[in-house]
């Protein structure tokens, strides 16, 4: 199975999940579910954009501030 086949299957499975969730609600709820879905997508987009801008601003070097040699110690075994 190639990666593209796996991606197609995952997308198809996601579509089935979406249909299953919509089937749990009454028929008139489709528009409400669409609005909620759009709002959640925009929230996640804002969260990711904020995290990325913060990472770029700080250059993601929080972990690089520490000297990697300082945590390594030589041990002699007798």
pLDDT tens-digit series, residues 17-27: 999 999 999 98
Over the range 6-34, which residues count as b (16 or more CB within 10 Å of their CB) and which as e?
A: eeeeeeeeeeeeeeeeeeeeeeeeeeeee
Segment 33-52, tens digit of pLDDT: 999 999 999 999 999 999 88
Give the CA count within 13 Å in the CB-facing half-sphere of 41: 6
Mean pLDDT highest for which of 26-30, 42-46, 67-71?
Answer: 42-46
């Amino acid at each position: 199975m190639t990666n593209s086949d796996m991606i197609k299957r995952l997308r198809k499975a996601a579509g089935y999940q979406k249909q299953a969730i919509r089937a749990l609600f009454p028929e008139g709820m489709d528009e409400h579910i669409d609005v909620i879905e759009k709002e959640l997508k925009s929230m996640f987009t804002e969260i990711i954009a904020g995290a990325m801008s913060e990472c770029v601003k700080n250059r993601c070097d929080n972990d690089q501030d520490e000297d990697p040699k300082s945590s390594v110690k030589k041990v002699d075994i007798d």
